[in-house]
Chain A
Amino acid sequence: MSGGGGSTPYLAVQFRDMEAQVETGKLGVWLFLGSEILFFGGLFTAYSVYRANHIELFRYAHFFLDWRLGAFNTFVLLTSSLSAAWAVRCAQLGQRRGLRFTLLATFLLAAAFLLVKYFEYSHKLENGIGWGAACHPSAEILASLPDAARALPVPAHLGTFFSIYYLMTGLHGIHVLVGMGLFAWLLRRLPTLGPDHWGAVDGVALYWHLVDLVWIFLFPLFYLV
């Protein structure tokens, strides 16, 4: 496709050329990502306010989260961001096989992330750790805590911490699920993607990097500090 030509079937009528189409699509995705940051910003505010006032609760609740699972999931998501960025490169260069491999890899890594999250959630819920008033840790899970935590009484508002935990990681998990759907959609459209039609790959990859960015902050805030 030439810079000013309409020689591709993927050029929509309202655009001067492919460059204008790709740039407009990109701007739209970026504005959407901006609204996503503000959307998560509200939840980060809830986290910060609760933490500022009840630091002892956060110190205690932190014993219920396994940092090794969180770190593992961080590596999974970072690798998936690499494969998503590589998919854009493959699409731009017309490397069809590479594109199929990187899109599939990103999809499977996203599934691996959710699988780990499923085990974390189910382990907590089976042991009575729900959100809000539904948080009554079982004797079994309390016995498995480190000595420093077992010496303390169970804080009265532990459920509020887990409300914030489930809301933030759950909303992030929904984003991962949506991302999987988008990568499946790209895989289905694989024959149409290439050097003259890679805007969709770029947009989905940008969204995926934002999902990764949110996790980069969630991981230390919940699992580490």
Chain B
Amino acid sequence: MTARESSTSASAPAGHGRVHVVTPAALLGTVAALFALTVVTVVVSRVDLGAMNVVAALGIATVKAIAVAAIFMHLRYEGRFHVVVLVGCAVFAALLVGFVVFDTTRYQPDLRAREAAETRHR
């Protein structure tokens, strides 16, 4: 436990050994960071970075998601198992997207070539 966390848990309801009450400073700091990152993501999208635009947008979105999960959703303060559930599901969703995209981009040129050949035959 850091000094900040132990000082905040002093104000927790009596009897709740593991309850963590998030401080107003942490809540306001998080939302300020989220607002700032939203402005950053809009500004970055106006600069043409080619394929890097998507990477930048997803990177910033991931940082925002981690801030929401860590502070607003209390993951920073409590049970590891909740982190395993969230990160595990996010990783498997990303694996699904990743492998399906690899697959479709691998076969798409063949499909298009065949489609073009069939159009010529008709």
- Tell me whether A82 and B61 are in contact (CB under 8 A): no
B31 to A81, Cβ gap below 8 A? yes
What's the least CB distance linking A80 to chain B, in Å?
10
Main secondary structure of the interface of A (DSSP, over half): helix
B89 and A37 within 8 A (CB): yes
Chain B residues within 8 Å of A74, by CB: 38
Q: Give the nearest-CB partner of A49 in chain B.
A: B104
Q: Are A92 and B21 in contact (CB under 8 A)?
A: yes
User: Which residues on B sit within 8 Å (CB–CB) of A9?
Assistant: none
Closest to B34 in A: A78
Instruction: Please state if B38 and A45 are interface contacts (CB–CB under 8 Å).
Output: no
> Contacts of B18 on A, CB cut-off 8 Å?
19, 23
Tally of contact residues, B, Cβ under 8 A:
53
Does the CB pair B93–A37 fall under 8 Å?
yes
Query: Quick one: which of B5-40 are within 8 Å of A by CB?
Result: 11-19, 21-22, 24, 27-28, 30-31, 34-35, 38
CB neighbours (8 Å) of A145 from chain B are none
Closest chain-B Cβ to A29's Cβ sits at a distance in Å of 9
- Contact flag A52-B16 (CB < 8 Å), given A85-B27, A220-B41: no
| B90 and A75 form a contact (CB under 8 A) | no
- Contact present for B104 and A94 (CB under 8 Å): no
**A93 in contact with B11 given A53-B104, A213-B65 (CB within 8 Å):** yes
User: Would you call A49 and B101 a contact (CB within 8 A)?
Assistant: yes
Taken together as a complex, chains A and B put the C-alpha atoms of A10 and B93 apart, in Å, by: 37
Interface residues of B in 70-96 (CB under 8 A from A): 71-73, 79, 81-82, 85-86, 88-90, 92-94, 96
- How far, in angstroms, from A78 to B68 measured CA to CA in the complex? 9
Write the chain A residue with the least CB distance to B99. A45
Q: How far is the CB of A34 from chain B (nearest CB, A)?
A: 4
Query: Contacts A195-B13, A209-B73, A213-B69: A82 and B31 contacting too (C-beta < 8 A)?
Result: yes
CB-CB under 8 A from A201, the residues of chain B are none
Q: Give the 4 A-B CB pairs with smallest separation, nearest first.
A: A41-B93, A195-B13, A220-B57, A224-B45
Known contacts A81-B68, A216-B68, then 4 further A-B pairs from the complex at CB < 8 Å, ordered by chain A residue: A18-B15, A19-B16, A48-B97, A225-B54
Interface residues of A (CB under 8 A from B): 1-3, 5, 18-19, 22-23, 26-27, 30-31, 33-35, 37-38, 40-42, 44-45, 48-49, 52-53, 67, 71, 74-75, 78-79, 81-82, 84-86, 88-89, 92-94, 195-196, 205-206, 209, 212-213, 216-217, 219-221, 224-225
